[in-house]
Amino acid sequence: MKVTDALDGALSTLLSKPAGVLPAYFVGYGAGTVARTIPLIGLFLAYLLLLAQGRLEPVEEALAAADLEALDEATEDPAAADPDALPADALSEALAGLVTPGVVAIVGLSIVLGIAVWIVVGAAFHAGQIHTVYAALLGREPVESGVSGAIADAKPFVGLRILEYGLYLLVTLVYGLVVFVAGAVYTADPGIGLAVAAGAALLAPVWLLSLLLIAAVFVFAPQAVVVDGVGTVGGLKRGAGFIRRRPGAFAVYVALAIGIWLATSGATALLTLVGVQNVVSLVTLLLVTPFLHLVKTGIYAEGDRIEARPLLSGEGPGVRARLRNGWSTSMGSLRSFTFSGTGLSLTGASLLLFGLGTVGGYLMVGEFAVETGDIGDPADVFGAFPVGTFVMIAANNWLVAVGQTFAGLALGIPTAVNLLFNGAIVGIVAGISADLFVVAALVVPHAILEVPALAVSGALGLHLGRVAWRRARGRADDAALAEELRLAFWVLVGLALVFVLASFVEAFLTPRIASWLL
């Protein structure tokens, strides 16, 4: 396909079939949540080990001996700081006692396993994404194709990812070894070592060029696996062959990808200044990544297999009709799932997990509760007109819900851990304050909306875990799993409104309510 046709087809497909394309990218976003679950479990196991060994007691004693009032006064007048306010030696010794071989082994192993899971799960989800966009371009059912493709081509995509990252690592290790040897030679004999070090420095462009060549070879390999139905090695060969056959199309795609990357990087830098950089994550999830995949797949799928659909052809319903249909579908899906027997029971289970995490976090730090003191006027916390805070909170909470929901495909375990973890954060915040009324005034107004919304997304994740388990045991087919993914997508679209309302309350109303109460 011509590059111009691929661009037109990509944009028109994304705009005309968002509910067919985007669920695969919501699933892909959940891969990060799945991977983070293992280090979180590792940290919890390390905490239990330290608790069983009694190594947390010295830390508790050192913190209990600290004069918090004197430390607070020292922040206002450092010259009047009391050196005995904080038992630094005892605290340092107690903290050093937390770094035991067992803790290092548990945390280190959990991090390694988390990276391995991210590679494997992310590769499988990527296979589903490419199958989804290819099916959408062909006019087939995208979501079910994505489910079937993720299962069928998980191994080739895992192979591609391992091979690509392995080559990056190998080239970097070789260059690092050269630099290390150059440094050792220079230390032993500065005269000879200077020439060796200069040679190592001249090899830096070669190292960078090697990384770029590796990246280039893998650009179209995923598309080759899906479109041509080949394995890892075949995907590499055909992807590289496509570059040799159509270097112009490859160059245009790379220029487009680099241009979009530069634009998103610049937007991130600018939006960071006003604290709403999360918007870029939203745009990347909803538009940039699926658009680039659609373009790349359209370019690779040559011949008449894909029919370009002009964006401005006027075919299909208009924008207003699509928005009305989307609104109706999302609200209907949210309502039907939330108030179904499954939705109510799993939402209750999510609230229970969140509550257990809250109690656990509170008990962990309850002994270190400190007086809140003068918190000033809460109405001034976010400023007079906190639009940036409102946008940041809304985007962050919705993205958390997306990850929490679709990570549930891993048998619901990441969803449960995420609920416990978020609950623990709330419990820790409440536990370190001796004045629970202050905490309640600053949390409850927006939590009335936010926590139930998170619980519903958690219920969705647990539900997807159950469906995935049934699919793994052969009691459900790909079509059934695809139907649940579509439902989850529309429920999350509906929950976006709830999170927006909760964030509006948190940014604009909670500080004023707290100011009135306190």
Per-residue pLDDT tens digits for 432-461: 776 777 778 888 888 899 999 999 999 999
Predicted confidence at residue 75, as pLDDT, reads 59
CA distance 228 to 357: 48
* % of the chain surpassing 90 pLDDT: 56
Burial class of residue 115 (count of CB atoms within 10 Å of its CB; 0-12, 13-18, 19+): middle
Residue pair 419/404 in contact by the 8 Å Cβ criterion:
yes
CA distance 280 to 265: 9
**25 versus 12: which is more confidently predicted?**
25
- For residue 465, give Cα distances in angstroms to 36, 352, 408, 471, 480: 17, 17, 5, 10, 13
Q: Does residue 267 have a pLDDT over 90?
A: no
Cα 436 to Cα 517: distance, rounded to the nearest angstrom: 13
Q: Which band of pLDDT confidence, cut at 50, 70 and 90, is reported for residue 86? A: low
Residues 486, 460 contacting (CB under 8 angstroms): no
Asked if residue 216 has pLDDT above 80, the reply is yes
Rounded distance, CA 98 to CA 53, Å?
Answer: 10
Q: What dihedral do alpha carbons 350, 356, 357, 361 form, nearest 10°?
A: 160
- The residues near 359 (Cβ < 8 Å, ≥ 6 apart) are 423, 427
Cβ contact 414:408 at 8 Å: yes
User: For position 254, what pLDDT does the model report?
Assistant: 93
Q: What is the mean pLDDT of residues 343-358?
A: 95
CA distance linking residue 198 with residue 175, whole number of Å: 13
Sort 101 into a burial class: Cβ within 10 Å, 0-12 / 13-18 / 19+.
Answer: exposed
Query: Quick check: 501 pLDDT over 80?
Result: yes
pLDDT in tens, 412-428: 999 999 999 999 998 88
Q: How far apart are CA 69 and CA 67, in angstroms?
A: 6
Q: How far apart are CA 196 and CA 174, in angstroms?
A: 15
Query: Any idea what the Cα angle at residue 118 is, between residues 113 and 119, rounded to 5°?
Result: 100
